[in-house]
Amino acid sequence: MIAADDINISRVKNSKLKEVNLENIPFGKYFTDHMLEVDYENGEWKTPEIKPYQPLMIDPSLAALHYGQAIFEGIKAYKSPSGEAFVFRPLDNFKRFNISAERMQMPTIPEHIFIDGLRALINLDRDWIPSQEDHSLYIRPFMFSTDELIGVKPSEKYKFMIILSPTGPYYNTPMRIYVEEQYVRAVPGGVGYAKAAGNYGAAMYATAQAKLKGYDQVLWTDAYEHKYVQECGTMNVFFIIGDKAITPDLGAGTILAGVTRDSVMTMLKELGLTIEERSLSVDEIIDAHKAGLLHEVFGTGTAATISMIKELRYKDYVMEFDVDNLKIAPAVKSRLNHIRYGTAPDNYGWMVKI
């Protein structure tokens, strides 16, 4: 833990918790009593502060608003049956945060600020962790440039913050997915592997177009040929073909290295499936479907957890899945949930106790 003199803590006088029903709570709508804030100036991180959750005062010339040096992470905290608080794989998100920071020409954040700050904040707001199934406390660390200057250059000042949001499922129902062939999320050499805020803004137009056609999200394809699948909306994607689980590989730097993706691969191995991380073409997916070998498609992500896909559409070719009778995705979800909620042993050291 951060030593008391390494962090300034000011507590709320009255908690807002009694105003919030922690059951059936929508994703990302409510925030806990406190937030963590720390500034980077003159080449160093200042003393972190935990203070009552409140709006920020910003200058209209704030660099992040103009040129988009902004990155974030998503992590979740869970409550065990005995009421203890655990965070799922925060060190992996910490490492990915700094990979994103480097790509966006931002300063990296030291582990003692990210991890110990997160622990101190959750410790203070631990009563906000929901205990209902599929609910958790979503942790949102983020960093943005704060120079007050509209010249285009890497900012000299930054702000790192963590906010917490008690939350229910991100996608409530099985999804309909549209294979995108016109718009592009990421190209080799670009920022697809970084959790850069702009990646999400840039996806919104294509997603809105898919929604007009009745779909929930797009499945991105490669920028050159629109032939190979990448990721799906805010999730990584898995295809169960025959007795194999196939997911696009990270090699081209166009896909986010999901922490849930990695955890799901471990669960799939436990279930006896062969995992293949490799290029996967839409043609191969369709051929497998025609041969009756494409059994399941599902998305994985911190917010999304494991999201069932009931329809995948490529041009006029529609692939439908009987989501009430899936075998693999529900089994993986259940195994992961048992580890997260502390009802099965954590054999991989994923859960960090607060």
- Residues at the interface with ligand COI (CB under 6 A): 74, 200, 234, 301-304
Give 303 or 328: the residue with its C-beta nearer to ligand COI. 303
Query: Using CB atoms, what's the residue nearest to ligand COI?
Result: 74
Nearest approach, Cβ of 285 to ligand COI (angstroms)? 23
- Least distance from ligand COI to the Cβ atom of residue 72, Å: 7
- Nearer to ligand COI among residue 3 and residue 204 (C-beta): 204
Residue among 71 and 124 whose Cβ is closer to ligand COI: 71
To ligand COI, the closest distance from the beta carbon of 218 in angstroms equals: 14
CB of 124 to ligand COI, least distance (A): 22
Nearer of residues 134 and 156 to ligand COI, judged by Cβ: 134
Of 152 and 204, CB closest to ligand COI:
204
User: Shortest approach of ligand COI to residue 260 CB, angstroms?
Assistant: 7
Q: Of the two residues 138 and 321, which places its CB atom closer to ligand COI in the complex?
A: 138
Closer by beta carbon to ligand COI, 2 or else 210:
210
Q: How far is the CB of 93 from ligand COI (least distance, A)?
A: 9
8-9 and 85-88 beta bridge pairing: unpaired
The least CB distance from residue 27 to ligand COI, in Å, is 7
